[in-house]
Protein backbone atom coordinates (compact mmCIF):
# COMPACT_ATOMS: atom_id res chain seq x y z
CA UNK A 1 0.00 0.00 0.00
CA UNK A 2 1.41 3.40 -0.98
CA UNK A 3 0.66 6.83 0.40
CA UNK A 4 0.07 9.18 -2.57
CA UNK A 5 3.14 9.77 -4.85
CA UNK A 6 4.28 13.22 -5.98
CA UNK A 7 8.08 13.42 -5.81
CA UNK A 8 9.97 15.51 -8.37
CA UNK A 9 13.71 16.18 -8.19
CA UNK A 10 15.21 18.90 -10.43
CA UNK A 11 18.97 19.15 -10.82
CA UNK A 12 20.27 22.37 -12.37
CA UNK A 13 24.09 22.68 -12.28
CA UNK A 14 25.22 22.48 -8.67
CA UNK A 15 21.85 23.62 -7.36
CA UNK A 16 19.69 20.71 -6.26
CA UNK A 17 16.15 21.43 -5.24
CA UNK A 18 13.32 19.11 -4.36
CA UNK A 19 9.78 20.15 -5.07
CA UNK A 20 7.39 18.66 -2.51
CA UNK A 21 3.68 18.70 -3.23
CA UNK A 22 2.73 18.30 0.42
CA UNK A 23 -0.59 20.06 0.10
CA UNK A 24 -3.94 18.61 -0.88
CA UNK A 25 -5.67 19.64 -4.07
CA UNK A 26 -7.63 22.85 -3.76
CA UNK A 27 -11.07 22.27 -2.30
CA UNK A 28 -10.21 18.87 -0.82
CA UNK A 29 -10.16 18.22 2.91
CA UNK A 30 -7.38 16.12 4.35
CA UNK A 31 -9.10 13.44 6.42
CA UNK A 32 -6.94 10.44 5.60
CA UNK A 33 -3.22 9.83 5.39
CA UNK A 34 -3.56 8.62 1.80
CA UNK A 35 -4.40 12.16 0.65
CA UNK A 36 -0.94 13.53 1.45
CA UNK A 37 1.22 13.92 -1.65
CA UNK A 38 4.33 12.19 -0.34
CA UNK A 39 5.53 8.65 -0.86
CA UNK A 40 5.46 6.52 2.27
CA UNK A 41 4.97 2.79 2.65
CA UNK A 42 2.65 1.33 5.25
CA UNK A 43 4.50 -1.25 7.36
CA UNK A 44 4.73 -2.53 10.89
CA UNK A 45 3.85 -0.23 13.76
CA UNK A 46 6.81 1.83 14.99
CA UNK A 47 8.57 0.80 18.20
CA UNK A 48 7.75 2.80 21.31
CA UNK A 49 10.92 3.63 23.27
CA UNK A 50 9.00 4.49 26.45
CA UNK A 51 6.26 1.84 26.90
CA UNK A 52 4.73 3.27 30.08
CA UNK A 53 4.50 6.73 28.56
CA UNK A 54 2.97 5.36 25.36
CA UNK A 55 0.38 3.36 27.29
CA UNK A 56 -0.54 6.51 29.22
CA UNK A 57 -0.87 8.43 25.93
CA UNK A 58 -3.12 5.76 24.42
CA UNK A 59 -5.32 5.80 27.52
CA UNK A 60 -5.58 9.60 27.26
CA UNK A 61 -5.90 10.06 23.47
CA UNK A 62 -6.89 13.74 23.62
CA UNK A 63 -4.11 14.90 25.94
CA UNK A 64 -1.63 17.30 24.33
CA UNK A 65 1.84 15.68 24.46
CA UNK A 66 5.29 15.93 22.89
CA UNK A 67 6.24 13.25 20.36
CA UNK A 68 9.80 12.50 19.23
CA UNK A 69 10.44 10.37 16.15
CA UNK A 70 13.47 8.47 14.92
CA UNK A 71 13.04 8.08 11.17
CA UNK A 72 14.22 5.32 8.88
CA UNK A 73 16.29 7.52 6.56
CA UNK A 74 19.39 6.59 4.54
CA UNK A 75 22.70 7.24 6.26
CA UNK A 76 24.43 10.05 4.39
CA UNK A 77 27.88 11.64 4.30
CA UNK A 78 28.37 14.85 2.39
CA UNK A 79 26.11 14.06 -0.56
CA UNK A 80 24.02 17.21 -1.04
CA UNK A 81 21.27 15.53 -3.00
CA UNK A 82 20.90 12.74 -0.42
CA UNK A 83 20.70 15.33 2.35
CA UNK A 84 17.93 17.13 0.51
CA UNK A 85 16.14 13.84 -0.07
CA UNK A 86 16.13 13.20 3.69
CA UNK A 87 14.90 16.73 4.40
CA UNK A 88 12.16 16.21 1.83
CA UNK A 89 10.96 13.09 3.65
CA UNK A 90 11.04 14.81 7.05
CA UNK A 91 9.24 17.87 5.72
CA UNK A 92 6.54 15.76 4.12
CA UNK A 93 5.94 13.86 7.35
CA UNK A 94 5.90 17.11 9.30
CA UNK A 95 3.40 18.55 6.81
CA UNK A 96 1.11 15.57 7.27
CA UNK A 97 1.20 15.95 11.05
CA UNK A 98 0.43 19.66 10.65
CA UNK A 99 -2.69 18.86 8.65
CA UNK A 100 -3.81 16.76 11.62
CA UNK A 101 -3.51 19.76 13.92
CA UNK A 102 -0.08 18.98 15.37
CA UNK A 103 2.67 21.58 15.81
CA UNK A 104 6.35 21.09 14.96
CA UNK A 105 8.83 22.40 17.52
CA UNK A 106 12.54 22.40 18.34
CA UNK A 107 13.05 20.92 21.82
CA UNK A 108 15.58 22.10 24.36
CA UNK A 109 18.88 20.25 24.05
CA UNK A 110 18.63 19.30 27.74
CA UNK A 111 15.53 17.18 27.19
CA UNK A 112 15.95 16.10 23.56
CA UNK A 113 15.14 12.38 23.62
CA UNK A 114 17.75 10.00 22.29
CA UNK A 115 17.69 6.42 21.12
CA UNK A 116 18.96 4.64 24.20
CA UNK A 117 21.21 2.15 22.44
CA UNK A 118 22.92 4.62 20.09
CA UNK A 119 22.31 8.00 21.74
CA UNK A 120 21.29 9.49 18.40
CA UNK A 121 19.05 12.52 18.53
CA UNK A 122 15.47 12.10 17.38
CA UNK A 123 14.80 13.32 13.82
CA UNK A 124 11.50 15.11 14.30
CA UNK A 125 9.56 16.57 17.24
CA UNK A 126 5.82 17.34 17.13
CA UNK A 127 3.29 18.39 19.75
CA UNK A 128 -0.22 16.97 19.65
CA UNK A 129 -2.47 14.14 20.79
CA UNK A 130 -2.42 10.39 20.31
CA UNK A 131 -5.66 10.68 18.33
CA UNK A 132 -3.85 12.90 15.82
CA UNK A 133 -0.83 10.65 15.51
CA UNK A 134 -1.95 7.05 15.82
CA UNK A 135 -2.56 6.43 12.08
CA UNK A 136 0.96 7.56 11.15
CA UNK A 137 2.65 5.15 13.58
CA UNK A 138 2.33 2.41 10.94
CA UNK A 139 4.37 4.28 8.33
CA UNK A 140 7.66 2.56 7.51
CA UNK A 141 9.54 5.85 7.69
CA UNK A 142 8.94 5.98 11.47
CA UNK A 143 11.23 3.40 13.04
CA UNK A 144 10.67 4.39 16.69
CA UNK A 145 9.21 7.14 18.84
CA UNK A 146 8.84 8.35 22.38
CA UNK A 147 6.42 10.67 24.11
CA UNK A 148 6.74 13.22 26.93
CA UNK A 149 4.19 15.16 28.92
CA UNK A 150 5.17 18.86 28.72
CA UNK A 151 2.78 19.68 31.55
CA UNK A 152 4.94 17.86 34.12
CA UNK A 153 8.11 19.34 35.61
CA UNK A 154 9.78 16.20 36.92
CA UNK A 155 12.49 18.18 38.72
CA UNK A 156 9.91 19.46 41.22
CA UNK A 157 8.73 15.98 42.26
CA UNK A 158 9.85 14.16 45.39
CA UNK A 159 11.71 10.87 45.16
CA UNK A 160 8.50 8.99 46.01
CA UNK A 161 6.30 10.95 43.59
CA UNK A 162 8.87 10.53 40.82
CA UNK A 163 8.55 6.74 40.87
CA UNK A 164 4.76 7.01 40.50
CA UNK A 165 4.79 9.16 37.35
CA UNK A 166 5.25 7.35 34.01
CA UNK A 167 6.88 10.44 32.44
CA UNK A 168 9.55 10.81 35.12
CA UNK A 169 12.47 8.71 36.41
CA UNK A 170 14.97 8.86 39.23
CA UNK A 171 18.37 10.47 38.78
CA UNK A 172 20.74 7.86 40.17
CA UNK A 173 24.01 8.79 41.81
CA UNK A 174 26.51 7.67 44.44
CA UNK A 175 27.00 9.67 47.61
CA UNK A 176 30.64 9.41 48.67
CA UNK A 177 32.97 10.27 51.54
CA UNK A 178 36.07 12.06 50.20
CA UNK A 179 37.92 11.62 53.53
CA UNK A 180 37.48 7.85 53.97
CA UNK A 181 37.49 7.42 50.17
CA UNK A 182 34.36 5.27 49.95
CA UNK A 183 30.84 5.51 48.52
CA UNK A 184 27.37 4.53 49.69
CA UNK A 185 26.21 2.84 46.48
CA UNK A 186 23.67 4.00 43.92
CA UNK A 187 20.56 5.74 45.21
CA UNK A 188 17.97 8.23 43.90
CA UNK A 189 19.23 11.79 44.06
CA UNK A 190 16.48 13.60 42.15
CA UNK A 191 13.87 13.33 39.42
CA UNK A 192 13.97 14.00 35.67
CA UNK A 193 12.08 13.36 32.45
CA UNK A 194 12.21 9.75 31.25
CA UNK A 195 13.83 10.77 27.96
CA UNK A 196 16.15 13.58 28.92
CA UNK A 197 19.33 13.34 26.85
CA UNK A 198 22.44 12.77 28.99
CA UNK A 199 26.10 13.34 28.15
CA UNK A 200 28.45 10.49 29.05
CA UNK A 201 30.93 12.14 31.38
CA UNK A 202 31.45 11.76 35.12
CA UNK A 203 30.09 14.64 37.18
CA UNK A 204 30.79 15.37 40.86
CA UNK A 205 28.38 17.72 42.66
CA UNK A 206 27.53 18.84 46.17
CA UNK A 207 23.91 18.67 47.36
CA UNK A 208 22.25 21.45 49.42
CA UNK A 209 23.13 19.58 52.65
CA UNK A 210 26.82 19.53 51.76
CA UNK A 211 27.04 15.85 50.77
CA UNK A 212 29.29 14.88 47.86
CA UNK A 213 27.81 12.94 44.94
CA UNK A 214 29.15 11.17 41.87
CA UNK A 215 27.06 10.86 38.69
CA UNK A 216 27.98 8.79 35.62
CA UNK A 217 26.46 11.30 33.18
CA UNK A 218 25.33 14.91 32.88
CA UNK A 219 21.77 14.22 34.06
CA UNK A 220 22.02 15.69 37.55
CA UNK A 221 19.58 17.34 40.00
CA UNK A 222 18.80 20.97 39.26
CA UNK A 223 20.27 23.56 41.60
CA UNK A 224 23.09 21.44 42.98
CA UNK A 225 26.46 23.16 43.34
CA UNK A 226 29.56 22.32 41.35
CA UNK A 227 32.59 20.51 42.74
CA UNK A 228 33.85 22.17 45.93
CA UNK A 229 37.14 21.74 47.78
CA UNK A 230 35.41 19.60 50.40
CA UNK A 231 34.45 17.04 47.73
CA UNK A 232 37.95 16.62 46.31
CA UNK A 233 39.45 13.19 46.81
CA UNK A 234 43.05 12.06 46.44
CA UNK A 235 41.92 8.77 44.89
CA UNK A 236 39.51 8.26 41.94
CA UNK A 237 36.01 8.37 43.38
CA UNK A 238 34.50 6.05 40.74
CA UNK A 239 36.70 3.15 41.89
CA UNK A 240 36.22 3.67 45.63
CA UNK A 241 34.88 0.81 47.81
CA UNK A 242 31.53 0.85 49.58
CA UNK A 243 31.47 2.65 52.91
CA UNK A 244 30.94 0.60 56.05
CA UNK A 245 27.80 1.99 57.71
Q: What is the pLDDT of residues 80-116, one digit of tens each?
A: 777 788 888 889 999 999 999 999 987 654 444 544 4
Tens-digit pLDDT profile for residues 214-235: 998 888 998 887 766 678 776 7
81-85, 117-121, 192-196, 237-241: the lowest-pLDDT one? 117-121
pLDDT tens figures, 149-203: 877 888 888 988 888 887 888 999 999 998 888 999 999 999 988 766 677 788 8
Nearest 5°: phi and psi at 195? -125, 45
| Contacts of residue 207, Cβ cutoff 8 Å, sequence gap at least 6 | 189, 213, 221, 224
Amino acid sequence: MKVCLNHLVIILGWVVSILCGCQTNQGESLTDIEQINCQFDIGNRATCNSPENCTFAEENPDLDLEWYFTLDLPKIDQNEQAQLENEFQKNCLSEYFSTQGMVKFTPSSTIYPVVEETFELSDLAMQGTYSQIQEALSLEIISSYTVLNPNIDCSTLTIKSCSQDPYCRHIMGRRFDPVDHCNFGYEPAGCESTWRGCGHIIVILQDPEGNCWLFNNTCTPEGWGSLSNSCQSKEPVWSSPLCQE
